[in-house]
Amino acid sequence: MSRPQPSRLSDYGYSTVISTRWSDNDIYGHVNNVTYYSYFDTVANRYLIEQGQLDIHRDEVVGFVVNSGCNYYAPVAFPEPLLGGLRVNRLGVSSVEYGVAVFRENEQNAVADGHFVHVFVDRKTNQPVPIPEAIRKALEKLKV
Protein backbone atom coordinates (compact mmCIF):
# COMPACT_ATOMS: atom_id res chain seq x y z
CA MET A 1 0.00 0.00 0.00
CA SER A 2 1.49 3.34 -1.01
CA ARG A 3 1.48 6.21 1.44
CA PRO A 4 -0.60 9.24 0.35
CA GLN A 5 1.11 12.59 -0.04
CA PRO A 6 0.11 15.48 2.23
CA SER A 7 -2.36 17.94 0.79
CA ARG A 8 -1.41 21.58 0.41
CA LEU A 9 -3.00 24.64 1.94
CA SER A 10 -3.91 25.87 -1.55
CA ASP A 11 -6.18 22.78 -1.90
CA TYR A 12 -8.62 24.32 0.59
CA GLY A 13 -11.00 27.22 0.04
CA TYR A 14 -11.32 28.08 3.73
CA SER A 15 -8.80 28.14 6.54
CA THR A 16 -8.95 29.20 10.17
CA VAL A 17 -6.63 29.32 13.15
CA ILE A 18 -6.68 26.37 15.55
CA SER A 19 -5.38 26.92 19.05
CA THR A 20 -3.67 23.89 20.51
CA ARG A 21 -4.25 23.21 24.19
CA TRP A 22 -2.03 21.66 26.84
CA SER A 23 -4.43 18.71 27.08
CA ASP A 24 -4.00 17.98 23.34
CA ASN A 25 -0.53 16.55 24.01
CA ASP A 26 -0.24 12.89 24.92
CA ILE A 27 2.36 11.07 26.96
CA TYR A 28 4.70 11.09 23.95
CA GLY A 29 4.74 14.89 23.90
CA HIS A 30 2.74 15.51 20.73
CA VAL A 31 -0.90 16.06 19.80
CA ASN A 32 -2.71 12.74 20.12
CA ASN A 33 -4.20 11.27 16.95
CA VAL A 34 -7.81 11.45 18.18
CA THR A 35 -7.48 15.20 18.76
CA TYR A 36 -7.23 15.83 15.03
CA TYR A 37 -10.87 14.77 14.68
CA SER A 38 -11.79 17.50 17.14
CA TYR A 39 -9.83 19.98 15.03
CA PHE A 40 -11.65 18.81 11.88
CA ASP A 41 -15.04 19.19 13.57
CA THR A 42 -14.10 22.65 14.85
CA VAL A 43 -13.04 23.88 11.41
CA ALA A 44 -16.20 22.62 9.66
CA ASN A 45 -18.59 23.87 12.32
CA ARG A 46 -16.90 27.25 12.54
CA TYR A 47 -17.43 27.60 8.78
CA LEU A 48 -21.08 26.49 9.02
CA ILE A 49 -21.72 29.00 11.82
CA GLU A 50 -19.84 31.92 10.23
CA GLN A 51 -20.68 31.39 6.57
CA GLY A 52 -23.78 29.15 6.58
CA GLN A 53 -25.66 30.96 9.35
CA LEU A 54 -26.01 27.74 11.36
CA ASP A 55 -27.36 28.36 14.84
CA ILE A 56 -26.10 25.29 16.69
CA HIS A 57 -28.42 25.93 19.64
CA ARG A 58 -31.72 26.78 17.94
CA ASP A 59 -31.84 25.51 14.35
CA GLU A 60 -34.19 22.64 13.59
CA VAL A 61 -31.42 20.96 11.57
CA VAL A 62 -28.12 19.58 12.88
CA GLY A 63 -25.24 17.75 11.24
CA PHE A 64 -24.31 14.24 12.41
CA VAL A 65 -20.87 12.85 11.56
CA VAL A 66 -21.38 9.41 9.98
CA ASN A 67 -17.94 8.68 8.49
CA SER A 68 -14.40 9.97 8.90
CA GLY A 69 -10.78 9.19 8.14
CA CYS A 70 -7.37 10.75 8.65
CA ASN A 71 -3.79 10.46 7.39
CA TYR A 72 -0.97 11.68 9.62
CA TYR A 73 2.29 13.05 8.22
CA ALA A 74 4.15 14.94 10.95
CA PRO A 75 3.74 15.47 14.69
CA VAL A 76 2.77 18.79 16.26
CA ALA A 77 2.59 19.80 19.90
CA PHE A 78 1.18 22.42 22.21
CA PRO A 79 1.72 25.40 22.06
CA GLU A 80 2.12 25.39 18.26
CA PRO A 81 -0.38 27.59 16.41
CA LEU A 82 -2.08 25.65 13.63
CA LEU A 83 -4.36 26.27 10.67
CA GLY A 84 -7.31 24.12 9.70
CA GLY A 85 -8.28 23.82 6.04
CA LEU A 86 -11.74 22.95 4.70
CA ARG A 87 -13.16 22.07 1.30
CA VAL A 88 -16.19 20.19 0.02
CA ASN A 89 -15.41 16.93 -1.78
CA ARG A 90 -19.04 15.92 -2.41
CA LEU A 91 -22.33 17.69 -1.84
CA GLY A 92 -25.53 15.66 -1.76
CA VAL A 93 -29.14 16.41 -0.90
CA SER A 94 -28.80 15.81 2.85
CA SER A 95 -25.08 15.10 3.21
CA VAL A 96 -21.68 16.64 2.58
CA GLU A 97 -18.22 15.11 2.52
CA TYR A 98 -15.61 17.57 3.69
CA GLY A 99 -11.93 17.47 2.92
CA VAL A 100 -10.11 18.69 6.01
CA ALA A 101 -6.49 19.27 6.94
CA VAL A 102 -4.25 20.66 9.66
CA PHE A 103 -1.19 22.79 8.88
CA ARG A 104 1.60 24.34 10.88
CA GLU A 105 1.45 28.09 10.73
CA ASN A 106 3.38 29.36 7.68
CA GLU A 107 3.73 25.87 6.13
CA GLN A 108 2.06 24.66 2.97
CA ASN A 109 2.04 20.86 3.50
CA ALA A 110 -0.50 19.32 5.85
CA VAL A 111 0.63 17.61 9.03
CA ALA A 112 -2.65 15.63 8.80
CA ASP A 113 -5.50 15.49 6.33
CA GLY A 114 -8.63 13.51 5.84
CA HIS A 115 -12.37 13.63 5.41
CA PHE A 116 -15.60 13.44 7.29
CA VAL A 117 -19.25 13.25 6.29
CA HIS A 118 -22.07 15.24 7.83
CA VAL A 119 -25.65 14.09 7.32
CA PHE A 120 -28.09 16.86 8.12
CA VAL A 121 -31.01 15.67 10.22
CA ASP A 122 -34.10 17.06 11.89
CA ARG A 123 -33.11 17.83 15.50
CA LYS A 124 -36.29 16.24 16.91
CA THR A 125 -36.61 13.10 14.75
CA ASN A 126 -32.95 12.46 13.81
CA GLN A 127 -34.17 11.76 10.28
CA PRO A 128 -32.21 13.08 7.26
CA VAL A 129 -33.46 16.32 5.72
CA PRO A 130 -32.26 18.46 2.81
CA ILE A 131 -29.36 20.75 3.62
CA PRO A 132 -30.79 24.20 4.45
CA GLU A 133 -30.37 26.73 1.65
CA ALA A 134 -28.00 29.11 3.48
CA ILE A 135 -25.72 26.23 4.42
CA ARG A 136 -25.88 24.76 0.90
CA LYS A 137 -24.84 28.12 -0.61
CA ALA A 138 -21.90 28.35 1.77
CA LEU A 139 -20.83 24.77 1.04
CA GLU A 140 -21.03 25.26 -2.72
CA LYS A 141 -18.34 27.94 -2.42
CA LEU A 142 -15.91 25.27 -1.20
CA LYS A 143 -16.64 22.55 -3.78
CA VAL A 144 -13.60 21.11 -5.51
Condensed to tens digits (0 to 9), the pLDDT of residues 101-112 reads 999 999 999 999
Give pLDDT, residue 3.
Answer: 83
Q: Would 16 be classed as within a structural domain?
A: yes
Domain membership flag for residue 40: yes
106: left (phi over 0), alpha (psi -120 to 50) or beta: left
Examine residue 79 and say whether the peptide bond preceding it is cis (omega within 30 degrees of 0): yes
In a domain, 107, yes or no: yes
The pLDDT value given to residue 86: 98
Domain boundaries, position 65: 9-140
**Amino acid sitting at position 141:** K
pLDDT at 109: 98
Listed in sequence order, the residues at least 6 apart from 125 whose beta carbon sits closer than 8 Å to its beta carbon are none
How far is CA 138 from each of CA 8, 34, 121, 131, 132, rounded to the nearest angstrom?
Answer: 22, 27, 18, 11, 10
pLDDT of 133 reads 97
Residues in the chain predicted with pLDDT less than 70, given as ranges, are: 1
Residue 4 lies in a domain: no
Residue 2 domain-assigned? no
Tell me the pTM.
Answer: 0.94
What's the confidence (pLDDT) of residue 70? 97
Q: How many domains does the chain have?
A: 1
DSSP 141: T
Residue 23 confidence (pLDDT): 96
